[in-house]
Amino acid sequence: MRKHSRMHAATLLALSLVLLFSSCIEGSPAGPSFPLVPGDAILAVVVEKPARLFGSLAAFWKTAGIAKVAGGELADLVRQGIPGGADLEKSLDAARPWALAMVPKAPGSKEMRTLVYIPLRGQDPKALGPLAEGKMRVVAQAKGYVVLADEAEEGYKLEFPSAKPLDLAAFARYPAEAVKVWADPVALSRLAEKDWDGFKADVGRFVKPNSPPDPKEALKTFTDGALALLKEIRSADAAVIVGAEGFTLRMGAQAVAGASMEKFLLRAAAAPSALDWAGQVSAESLYGYAWSFDPGVAAELSDLYLKAFLPALGSAGGEAGAKMQGTFEKLAAIQARWYALAGPRGAASLDIDFDAKALKALGQSGDDPKALSAALGKAFSLRGDFFQEVKDEAKYRQLLSTMAKDPELNAVMKELLAESGIKMEIRSADKKDGSFAYGELGFSFEIVDPAKFSQGEGMDVGRAAEAAKAAFEAIAGLFNFRWTTSKGRFVGCFGTVAELKALVDRPAAAKSLAADPAFAAFSKQLPAKVQMLGSLSARRLAALVAKALEGSLPPESGIVIDPKRFGNWYSYLAATGKAGAAGLEFGFTIPSGDVAAVIDIVAAAARQKSGGGGF
C-alpha cells in the first residue's frame, strides 16, 4: 500500500502542475459536462475549474509570501517543472474539469489502479508527450478527454464515460475553484489493514501487560469502536480552498441511511444555529467559541464514549480495574445532572497573560512558600467569560450552590487524587452585592502525604509540602469563579463582581465575532446552521510570544514578531442534511497574512543560523 500511496501522490503532483500550468491560458469554452469518475472508485480528486484554481493559488502564493521559500513566482516555477513545455500547454484544456481516481484492479481486489482524466484541446493523445509514457498508459479517449492509467496491462481498456458514474453530489457544497476530494472510508480502511496491523504491533512493544488498564486491551477496544463507527459512514469528502484572503480546509462525512449515526446527526442538526451566539464571543481573546447542541444528544454521545472505553478501563480486572470503572460511571452520573438542566446554546471566551518580572522572581523563589505564592499570584492572570442557556434558573442555581457538598463529586475527586498526595475540595458561597445575587466557586488544597513532594535526599519534607501547598493555592487563585443566572442564562467569569454584572447586561462582546468583517466573510461559506464556532487569535498568541522573547532577540537577528500582522483562525462544526442524507462537516481557515508573517520569521531565523545565507 505504501508503494501505491507514493506513486499516487507523485502522479497527482505531476498532473496538478501540468494542468495548473495550462490554466494560464483558458482559451476554449467549457466543454460538455458529464461525470468523469467511475462508480467503483474508492478515492477521487476533482478540480472543476483549473483556471480559477490557478488564479486563486497564485493570489495566495503572493499574499502569503511563499515565493520567499519556493524561490520564485508560481507561474515561473510551474513552467520549469513541466515536461514538454509550450507544446503541452497548448494541448491541455483548462476550461474543463480534470480528475484523478483510485479504482480496484478487479472487483473486491485490494490492488488499486490510478486513473487520470485529462481534457485536451485537440484529439491526439500524443500531445501529452512524456505524461503518456512509462508507467502511465492511455486506456480510453472520448468526449475530448484522454484517460491515463498507471501500470495498465497491455490491451487493458476502460469504459468511458462510465455507465455507472460515482455520485459526487457532496461536492456542490464547495466552490468550483477548490481541490475536491471524495473517499470511501471503509474501502480505504481495508486497503490500509496491513499498515494498521503494523502500527498496532509497534504500539504493543511499549505496553506493559496487566497494567490497569491494559493498554493492549484499550487499543483493541478503541480500534474495534473506530471500525464500527467507520461502517456507518457512507462517504467522506473534503475541499482545499486558497485565495488572496487565506487557506481554508473543509471536510465532511455522509452517514449511512438508517444507521444510528444518521439518527444522531439529525437530532444534532435540529438545534438552533450557534451563529446566533457569535456576538458573545470576543474576537480579541486568545480563544473563543460558541455552540448549539441538544443536551440530550450530548448526554447520549457521552454515554457512547463511556460504553466504548469502560470495558478497557476494567480490563485488568481486580480491585484497580473495578475502582477505575466505578469512578468513570460516577462521572457520567454527575454529568447527566448538568445536561438535564442545560439549554442548547452557549459561548465562552478565554484569555491568559503573564508578568515577565514575576516569572523571573518565580525562578528565584526557591522553596520559600511565601515567595513562591507571591510570585505565582503575580506571574499569571486568567480571564474567562462563560454563557449558557438554562432550562430552569432556580434549579441550576441550586445545583451550583450545593456542588461543594455533593458527596458523589467529592468521592470522585478523592478517587482521582488518591495517589497524588493531595486532597482538593470545592469552595462554594452564595453572596450579594446590593440587590445583585451571585455565587463564588473555588478550590482549596491540603497536602495529605508530604513525602510525595520531597525533591531528593536532604530535602526538608515539611518545607517541600508547604511550598507545594502554596503553589497549588496560588494556581487555584487563578480559577476563582463568580457566576449568576439571569434572563434564562447562566453567566460566569474569572473576574470581579463588577465584571460579572457587565457580562449579564451586555448585548454582545466589545469586539465580537459577529462584528468582525473577516469572520463575516468566512461565515458565508458555512452551512445555514452550525453546532460549533471557534476563533483562535493568532494576533493575541503572537503578542504573548513577543512578550516572552522581549529583550532576548538582538536587532541584528532580523527576527521581528509583529502581532499586528496576524489575524484570527476560525473553525466550525456542523451537522447537516435530512433523513437519508445526513452528514457532519468541519472546517477551518488561516489568513494569508499569518502565513506571510510566519514565513518572514522563519526566513530571518534561517538567515541568522546560516550567517546570512537565508534558506
* pTM metric for this prediction: 0.84
- Highest mean pLDDT: which range of 6-20, 54-68, 407-421: 54-68
**Alpha helix (H) residue ranges in 509-573:** 517-523, 538-549
DSSP collapsed to 3 states, 82-133 = CCCHHHHHHHECCCCCEEEEEEECCCCCCCEEEEEEEEECCCCHHHHHHHHC
Which pLDDT does position 7 carry in this prediction? 44
The CA distance from 128 to 117, in Å, is 12
Lowest pLDDT segment from 77-86, 92-101, 413-422: 77-86
Residue 458 grid cell: 536532604
Q: Is 180 exposed, middle or buried (0-12, 13-18, 19+ CB in 10 A)?
A: buried
**Spatial CA neighbour of 373 closest among 281, 472, 285:** 472
Output 193 or 236, whichever has higher pLDDT.
236
Q: What's the grid cell of residue 166?
A: 460515482
* Contacts of residue 218, Cβ cutoff 8 Å, sequence gap at least 6: 309, 312, 313, 315
pLDDT above 80 (res 460): no
Q: What percent of the chain clears pLDDT 90, i.e. is strictly above it?
A: 38
Q: Which of 470, 467, 445, 471 is nearest to 454 (CA)?
A: 467
Burial class (CB in 10 A: 0-12, 13-18, 19+), 586: middle
What pLDDT score was predicted for residue 365? Answer: 62
Which residues are within 8 A (CB) of 211 and not within 5 positions of it... i.e. 6 or more apart?
Answer: 316
- pLDDT value of position 578: 83
Q: What percent of the chain has pLDDT over 70?
A: 78
Average pLDDT over residues 146-165: 86
pLDDT, mean over the chain: 81
Give the pLDDT score at 575: 92
Residues in the chain, overall count = 615
Residue 254 has pLDDT above 90, yes or no: yes
